[in-house]
Amino acid sequence: MKHGRISGKFYKFVCRNFPYRVTSREVINCVNNILNGAMTENKAIATLQGAETELKRQKELYKSNVECRNRIGAKQISEKKT
């Protein structure tokens, strides 16, 4: 998005796949390389798809977030009944 160098496609990919930690080292490096013209967006997407450890961590954060929401929601429902 910066000065028209990052397209909506790459931005959307990053937001969907790295919702909890956009500042991870892999993402920052890819964005800097795109802005400097050293890497294309398609290559950056392929690189980030190969970053399995960070993607796995994002999925774990999502899973724990959902579990926490469910626990909080169940607790609030039980409190309303009493």
pLDDT band at 82 (very low <50, low <70, confident <90, very high): low
- For 14-65, the pLDDT digits (tens) are 888 877 777 778 888 998 999 998 999 999 989 888 877 777 877 788 888 8
From CA 18, how far away is CA 5, in angstroms rounded? 20
From CA 15, how far away is CA 6, in angstroms rounded? 13
Q: What is the model's pLDDT at position 3?
A: 61
Taking the CA of residue 33 as centre, how many other CA atoms within 13 Å lie in the half-sphere pointing to its CB? 17
pLDDT band at 80 (very low <50, low <70, confident <90, very high): low
pLDDT band at 77 (very low <50, low <70, confident <90, very high): low
Contacts of 16 (CB under 8 A, 6+ apart): none
3-state secondary structure at position 51: coil
Model pTM score: 0.61
